[in-house]
Structures are given as structure tokens and as C-alpha cells.
Amino acid sequence: MTDFNPTRRGFVAGTTLASALAALPAFARSGSAQLADDSLTLWYDKAAGPWIEALPLGSGRLGTMVFGRPVQERLQFNIDTLYGGGPYIQDNPRFREALPKVRALINEERWKEANELVADSLMGKPIKQMPFSGAGDLLLDFPGVKAAARYRRSLDLDSAIATTSFIDGSGRHRREAFCSVPDQVTVIRLEIEGDGTIDLDLGYRHPDYQPYGGFGDTKYDQHGVVFVGAPWHHRESLFAEKRPSTLTVRTDGSDALLIEGRNVQAFGIPGQLRYALRVQAVGDGKIEAVGDTLRVRGARRLTLVVAGETSYVNWQDTRGDPVAAVRQRTAAAARKPFGKLRDDHLKAHRALFRRLHIDLGGHAANARPTHARIAGVPREPDAALAAMYVQYARYLLLSSSRPGSQPANLQGVWNEVLHPPWEGKYTININTEMNYWPAGPANLDECVEPLLKMVEDLAVTGARTARNSYGARGWVAHHNTDLWRATAPLDGPLWGMWPTGGAWLCTTLWQHYQYNPNPARLRRLLPLFKGAALFFLDTLVEDPKGRGLVTSPSSSPENNHHTDISLCAGPAMDSQILRDLFDAVIAAQAQLGEDDPAFTAAVRKARARLPADRIGEQGQFQEWLEDWDASATDQTHRHVSHLYAVYPSEQVNVRDTPALAQAARVTLDRRGDESTGWATAWRLALWTRLGDGERAYKILQGLLGPARTYPNMFDAHPPFQIDGNFGGAAAILEMIVQSWGGEVHLLAALPKAWPEGRVHGVKAHGGVELDVDWKAGRLRLVRLRGPAKASVALRYLGQRVTTKLDELGHARLDASDFPARP
């Protein structure tokens, strides 16, 4: 990307620009440095070139990427329900007949034959699921802008507002953009100070201008990302060479454009969704809609409101009216004064965002542009960047997962192409679960509602798959799902033949429930847990070597135990997930007083017969029932599925199971610290849960650096996947506060690099909220808020203290309240 250098381009020497600079107020001439000390601000001294430099906005349902280009601004849009295809049934009709044959072949270790039969008779039809598609771009051409100086663009996490400011020969330009949850629109505000005016030509570009399957204007190599982007002055083509026949762009009154389209056909499933975008302009200049362009001349203040919607009603109904929805939303927003739109947005955003504050020191680094800070890690450790990483992840979660929206997918709610990597859907063998790891500790309970709603849908579609494919009660989901809630295995035997995805979603919801106990929520969870448990009561089979009840066929997600073979029976992860699922359903029944004695007895009996975790001959934590770890084809595999028991579960921990915890360390050493973005985050969380703050900190530096973090702080798999952001943030909070084993562990993995800091508003199990302050690497103060008169067990430096909250639900302790280590 080309750096902006006004002197080189001859701009500063221009008399017009010099005059404009002199005429502006002092605050406008002070440059970008005055605002660069904000610990909650991503900021840059140049416009975005490739998409991974643009700044994300989101309301859960609507996502917008802001590029901050002075001459031609690009705003790229997503709608959370704009997926390919339509309602479909994926279950393979040959599954049920072939299932016992596959199990027999696995028992006989006839791997190749089992693999072939699974590929032919168990995989879903189609073998892929539907892609999450981009909704296109608005390109804002400013014919009067010829130069730019004092350039700055930023994203303030506290306000969720992206701002671009610069000066040119006509004056000082300021552009703000935000996605409003109350109004469900993206708002773009343009202002100018000085003698000039805002002249604007606005048009829409369909996302098929990107090559099918491409990753936008970014190229990748084995080391990460190579930027191939546009400099700040670049103008892009408004339309693809051939506009799709399913797209229309037309005026909708004298001040608005209406874009209507259809979703794509994917993998043989016809597109059944209609979608619409509408942009309406309000300002003091001349506004006119001409054909497929919105034109503004002579404005000093201009507000654009954009709404997007599809005809999606639910996973089996596509009869909604997106045009009526976007007209209503934009018209309602356009009637509001800009100040009211902004204030309503701020109130809704800050109600969630301001619950947590984190300060790890290192504030001087905030004076540097964000991309420069990322490029400097780990050569220049940046504690303030780690703190902002947490807050950025919280911002991304509340921007992509709100009540009424879809859950955050592989890319949250942001994707620029029609067919993103891995279809941008929900990969439920780690990635979707990781998206919600920070929700509990980061104090964002509301953001889990879309995930719960999706699991409620999956319990319906998964019951069909359980019945038709397995002849079982309850419900099942395999390693992926999409907008249409498909639950059959897909992609192929290596990835797809794993029946425990729905169970892991259930344990994710249960783990989150521990942070926010609520009887109404639990009443929704219990039938999901019971249905998932019933499926496994019906489908667990006897291990032929007498080691208990096992899943079959299954796999240890995406890892081969022999060349090109992942199929197996009873991988460690499955037994671990089922232990948590069975415990959750028993506990939920007990808490609600809804015990079913026969069901509970069956669950207890099955749980007792699940194979125990094993330590292999090399001292490693065994991934499979057999000691195959040394012969596995990829010794540094990105998945560490068998360590689920360590994190996010708590079955294996340093207090209660030290031998297994040591075996987990051996496995992590063998796997290595460097991996893909989300896998690096999981390694970070695992070492943190094991109490090794220094090893965790080393891995964190790799996560924060340019190999795994893009300039806009999106996680680099590569390419972009959002799960690494969420997993990394959860792990950073775990370095300070952990909840497991009935205790809250304080500073359990605090690295030496953060000798002083504070986290206020972090959540722990039991609905307890904590403020934790430390100095010189030692606990200084902890405040607790939670249920009145609740007892809370705290552990610090190996010492346990139980405190009781007062009648207001408050307590305060300092280091002296913990007895000295004997």
C-alpha cells in the first residue's frame, strides 16, 4: 500500500491548500497526535487499501466496512441472513443402512474401506453447505476532493464510531459512520468546515466484481498476508463488467436509491432469498436521485442512512418482504435529527461495552498508529495493545451477535465476497464455540442469545437427522451448520464424520450459563440438553476391546491418525464432551426440580462407562483410544481437540488432576506454539489454564503480531477468521481471572510483562462480577459484586479464601486477606 506523503505529491506547496490550513481553527490544524493517546481507539494515518485494513461496524444484523478513502469512499455491506441457497434437506438416504457396516469396518481397522463407505453413503447431499455472501458496496465519489493532508481515520471502540478527517483546498472534512442497533441502519455523516461544499456521486456495486472464491484484493502466502491494495487516492470501478440479471438499482424517491437482488445458487441449491439495500440522503445541499446514482451538490452537512434486509423469516420460510423493511427503517431514521440518531446509538452500545475496563499499562504506545503497533510485535511488546485486543473482541462480538440477529459466524458478520473461505458458515467443531468463549467473562450475556436460538433450531433439524440417519431419539449436529440449520455430515470423512458438534454447542451454553445463572434461561436449555443426551444414549456402542461406551463412527476433529484416515471410534474429545453434557443435563434437572428418574439413571450409567482419559507411552495426553499420537501424520496439527478437557472444560486441571495436566503440557510442547490464528488462541488459552503465564505471554506475542493480526486487528487464520479474536480475548482475561473447580482464581497466569494493571467488571461463575487491581505483580485489591449473601471461594498464590457477599451483594478484599503460603 502506498504511504501518504503530501510533500512528495506536491500538495503542501499548493497555495490553495496552504490558505485552507491557515483559515481553519487551531483544533483542526493540530494534527492527529492529539487524539492518538486513546486506549480504546484504533487509528491510522492512511486510508485502507485491501479489505483487511478497513474498519468494521455492526448492529448484529447489518455489517459495514469503512475504508476511509478521501476521494472515493468505499462502504462494504453485509446482511446477517444473506446466505446462498434456501431451505434444503441434506441427509443421505443411504446412511442408516450403511451405518452398521461402517462400524464393523472401524472395529476391524479396515480404514480405507470404512473411509470409502462413509464418503459414499454417510456424507450429506450436497456435500457442502451454503455460503455467507457479501451484500455489495456503496462507492461515494467526491469530484471536488483533489488532495488530502492531516489525514486520520479511526474506530473508537467506546462509541462504535468510525471517523475519517482530513483537509484539502476546500476545508476540513469530517466523516463519521456507525451501525445503529436501535434504528437498524448504518449512518454516515459528512461535514465540511471552510469555504467548500460536499459534492457527491453515490452508486452501488454488486460483490461479484470479486473472482468467485477469491479473497478480495488481498493475496496470501505461507507466511501470512501480502497486501495488494489501493492507495488513498484510488478510484474503483462502480460496476462489474456484467451486472447480474438478478440485480436492479433504481431511484426510490428524489433522495434515495433502492437496490434489489437475489442470493446465489450454491452447490445445486437454488437461491431462494430476495434482499434489498436502501440508502436515503438528508442534507442542506441539492439532493437528487438520477437513474442508478444518488447525486449531492453544494452540501455542508449530509447524512446518509442505509438499511439492508433479506426475505429470510426462519430456516424454513423465505417469504419476508425486504423492500418494505428497508423503506420503513431508512424513512424512520431519516426523520430523526442526526444528533438523536447518534445519541440513541451511543446509549445502546455503551450499555454493554462499558461494563468492562482493562488496563495493562504501556499507554505510550497509543500514540502510534495501530498498524505500526501490530507490525512491531513481538519486537516491541505492547501491553496496551493486548488490553485493546480484549476490548476489540468485545466490540466485535456485540457488533455481530445481538438478540434478533444470527450468531457470529466464521467471519462475524463481515465478508466482502459472494463465496468466502469455508463458506463463512458455522464450523461447530471449535470455531463457533470459540466465538462465544469471551461472552461470559467479558460481561456480554446478551450476545449469547443468537447462539441459543440457533441451537434451538438445530434441535429441530437435528432430530430429523438423528431419526432418519441413526434411527435415534434426540438430536444431532455434525461439524458444520449454516443459515438453513443443516445437520448432516459434510465436506468428507476427514472433516465431517464427527457427531458431537451439537453436544459441544450444548456444553458451550452450559458453561456460559455458569456466568449468568437464570432460571428462565435454564428452562430453555434443559430440553436441548436432554435431546442431545438422548441421541447418545441411543447411539453409543460397546468398544470391542472392553473399554466402555464409545461414539462410532467419529474422528478427532480434522486430524489423521494414519495417512488420510481420521475415522475412528471413541476419540478422547467425544468422551470429554459427553461427560460435560451428561453432567449438565443432570445438574439442570436438579436445579429446576424436574428430575426424570429413569432418564437420569440412564445418563449416569452411560457416563460411568465412558472411557477415561489416557496418558500415552511418551507421556502425552492421548488423542485416541489407541496410542496413535506418535504415528499421527501431523505432529503440529492446528486442532488440539483432546485437550478440550483442559479448556474450555475443567475436567483436567492443575489442582485436581496433576498427572493429566502434565500430559497436556507434553502434548502442547509437541504441537508447538505457532499455528493458525484460532489455533494459536486455543494454545494461549490452554497454557493460561495450566497456569503458565510466561509461556502464554510468548504465544500471545505471536497472536498480536503481523503474522496473525491484520492491520484492522482482524485475526489472520489466514485468511480472516474471527474466532482467533474471540479466543485470544478470552485467554487474556483468563490470565487475570479464572473460574473453575468451584473457585475464582486470581492472577493465576499473570506474566511478568504486566507488573501493574487492573480489570474491572470481569465476570466469574455464579454471576459474580470482579474488579481486580495489582501492582508489582502482586494482588492489591479485589472487589466483588453478585447475589446478596452468596459465598465465593477465591484462590490466590495457592491459598483459598471463602468470602460472603453482604446484603447488597458486595465484598472487598486485599492481599492481606489471603494467608501467607506455608
- Give CA–CA dist 776/756, Å, rounded: 6
Pick the CATH number of 15-83+132-354 from 1.10.150.20, 2.70.98.50, 1.10.240.10, 3.40.50.11540: 2.70.98.50
Grid cell digits, residue 772: 481486580
Q: What is the pLDDT of residues 338-371, one digit of tens each?
A: 999 999 999 999 999 999 999 999 999 999 999 9
Instruction: Provide the residue type at 589 as one letter.
Output: Q
Note the pTM of the prediction, 2 decimals.
0.93
Q: What is the pLDDT of residues 20-61, one digit of tens each?
A: 333 333 323 333 333 334 899 999 999 999 999 999 999 999
> Is 240's pLDDT higher than 70?
no
Q: What is the pLDDT of residues 458-468, one digit of tens each?
A: 999 999 999 99
| Confidence (pLDDT) at 821 | 66
Instruction: Provide the residue type at 123 as one letter.
Output: M
| Confidence (pLDDT) at 1 | 29
User: Of 633, 612, 654, whose CA–CA distance to 795 is shortest?
Assistant: 654
Pick the CATH number of 93-125+436-615 from 3.20.20.120, 3.90.226.10, 1.10.760.10, 1.50.10.10: 1.50.10.10
Q: What is the pLDDT of residues 245-279, one digit of tens each?
A: 889 999 999 999 999 999 999 999 999 999 999 99
| Confidence (pLDDT) at 242 | 60
| Confidence (pLDDT) at 215 | 40
Examine domains 15-83+132-354 and 93-125+436-615 and report if their fold is the same.
Answer: no
| Confidence (pLDDT) at 147 | 82
- Bridge partners of 174, per DSSP, are 165, 191
Q: What is the mean pLDDT of the chain?
A: 91
> Is 16's pLDDT higher than 60?
no
Q: Of 175-179, 236-240, 320-324, 455-459, where does mean pLDDT reach its minimum?
A: 236-240
Cite the beta strand spans of 506-639 per DSSP E.
541-542, 549-550
Q: How many helices (H) and strands (E) does the chain have?
A: 19, 31
| Confidence (pLDDT) at 209 | 57
Q: What is the pLDDT of residues 748-791, one digit of tens each?
A: 999 999 999 999 999 999 999 999 999 999 999 999 999 999 99
Quick one: CA dihedral 44, 50, 51, 52, positive or negative?
negative
Instruction: Name, in order, each residue with C-beta under 8 angstroms of 359's C-beta and a sequence gap of 6 or more.
Output: 39, 387, 757, 758, 759
Q: Of 122-126, 205-209, 543-547, 756-760, where does mean pLDDT reach its minimum?
A: 205-209
> Is 8's pLDDT higher than 80?
no
Instruction: Name, in order, each residue with C-beta under 8 angstroms of 690's C-beta and a sequence gap of 6 or more.
Output: 646, 654, 661, 664, 665, 749
CB atoms within 10 A of CB 813: 18
| Confidence (pLDDT) at 632 | 74
| Confidence (pLDDT) at 245 | 82
Mean pLDDT calculated for residue range 466-472: 98
pLDDT band of 820, cuts 50, 70, 90: confident
- Give CA–CA dist 662/644, Å, rounded: 15
User: Of 135, 166, 168, whose CA–CA distance to 153 is shortest?
Assistant: 166
Place of cell 491484520: 710
Domain boundaries, the chain: 15-83+132-354, 93-125+436-615, 757-817
| Confidence (pLDDT) at 239 | 55
CB atoms within 10 A of CB 362: 19
| Confidence (pLDDT) at 12 | 29
Sheet with 161-168, side-by-side order of all strands: 41-44, 149-156, 161-168, 171-180, 185-193, 301-310, 274-283, 256-262, 248-251
Instruction: Name, in order, each residue with C-beta under 8 angstroms of 357's C-beta and a sequence gap of 6 or more.
Output: 758, 759, 760, 761
Mean pLDDT calculated for residue range 466-486: 98
CB atoms within 10 A of CB 527: 14
